[in-house]
Amino acid sequence: MNAVIYARYSSDSQREESIEGQIRECTEFAEKNDMVVIEHYIDRAFSAKTDDRPDFQRMIKDSEKHKFEVVIVWKLDRFARNRYDSAKNKRILKKNGVKVVSATEQIADGSVGILMESILEGYAEFYSAELSEKIRRGQTENALKGKTNGGGVPFGYVLNSEQRLAINPTTAPIVLEIFQRYANGETKKEIAADLTGRGIKTKAGNDFVPNSFNKILSNRKYIGEFKYKEIVLPDIVPAIIPVELFEAVQKRLEKNHRAPGRFKAKEEYLLTTKLFCGKCESMMVGESGTGKSGAKHYYYKCASAKRKRGCDKKAIKKDYIENLVVEETTEKILRDDVIGAHCRRDNSHTRST
């Protein structure tokens, strides 16, 4: 009888030894029961809360080939911690002539075995839900005390022994400088070039680039605000930036976001904020590029396509679309009869009022 082994662990806190141990016990089970293991399916750092696991799905798909009759798991919770997913995928396997067995849980055939298997699966789902609730409670308590729940420490701060953010005296002044310079009109590119020229690095140890400021300039922790999900606590984190300066920066960021094409190049894009993608209705923004000959080319490009958010609209040449709009406006709007009609309506409206 041919069999395959499915093994997984759910988080980075578990190690490769977990997989090795599961495979060893599953292999021993197969040998005792005269099964020949033909393949291992392994998912690393994937939870069993859902069946959206690459090798798990590959195993389900491969069952259609009828090359194996048994899936061996170390415990049933390796297969699923969700009763619906477990039942759904076992039904698919059963249809393909494949049975799921546990190497460490003795489950008899018949009605008693069905009851025992459902109890084990129910307990696995209960354990998973209870663990999630405990983690959420712990993280909420941490948030209320101003303690971090993991994630990166923002540039300008360090994490103290109580897991709270504290000001880094070396990098906090740089954060203040970045905010002040951006509020005073300097571009991200100019600020990045200057910091790099002075040998100042990001938290990751890299040179500053314009994108390095995206999170910095919008991070409300710099004004002392701490947020975790729906919990927002003011004055919990030691502030680096005055509120007035932070709000001034947000206004400039918003202005640049509304008309991103105008700040991409010195070339004037006449249709910025007026031209929208015909496929996804996102704003078309200005973009430029240099050809092999060194000539500069200018385009309008869909913002969603540019950010790879699902739209495949191709860029349109700037001169072509601007000239087309001018021609259509001249032909359909700037005509004597159209202008005259508007004037007559305006005069009629004035008399009636």
Q: What's the CA gap between 153 and 203, in Å, rounded? A: 9
Q: Is the pLDDT of residue 113 over 60?
A: no
Specify whether the backbone of 58 is left (phi greater than 0), alpha (psi in -120 to 50) or beta: alpha
- The single-letter DSSP state of residue 92 is H
> Residue 97 corresponds to which amino acid?
G
Q: What's the CA gap between 174 and 241, in Å, rounded? A: 11
**In the predicted model, what is the mean pLDDT of residues 315-340?**
79
Residue the block writes with tokens 């200057």: 194
Least confident of 61-70, 113-122, 221-230: 113-122
Q: What is the pLDDT of residues 254-279, one digit of tens each?
A: 888 766 555 444 567 888 888 999 89
Q: What's the CA gap between 228 and 225, in Å, rounded? A: 10
Q: Give residues with Cβ within 8 angstroms of 243, minimum separation 6.
A: 223
Cα 189 to the center of its chain, rounded Å: 25
Q: What's the CA gap between 314 and 301, in Å, rounded? A: 7
> What's the pLDDT score for residue 188?
92
Compute φ and ψ for 296, nearest 5 degrees.
-90, 135
Residue 243 corresponds to which tokens in the numbers above?
Answer: 């509120």
Q: What's the CA gap between 172 and 187, in Å, rounded? A: 20
Helix axes 188-197, 172-183, angle to 10 degrees: 140
**In the predicted model, what is the mean pLDDT of residues 37-66?**
87
Q: What is the pLDDT of residues 297-313, one digit of tens each?
A: 899 999 888 888 789 99
Sheet holding 70-73, edge to edge: 36-44, 2-9, 70-73, 99-102
Model confidence band, residue 47 (pLDDT cutoffs 50, 70, 90): confident
Q: What is the pLDDT of residues 202-225, one digit of tens each?
A: 988 899 999 999 889 999 889 988
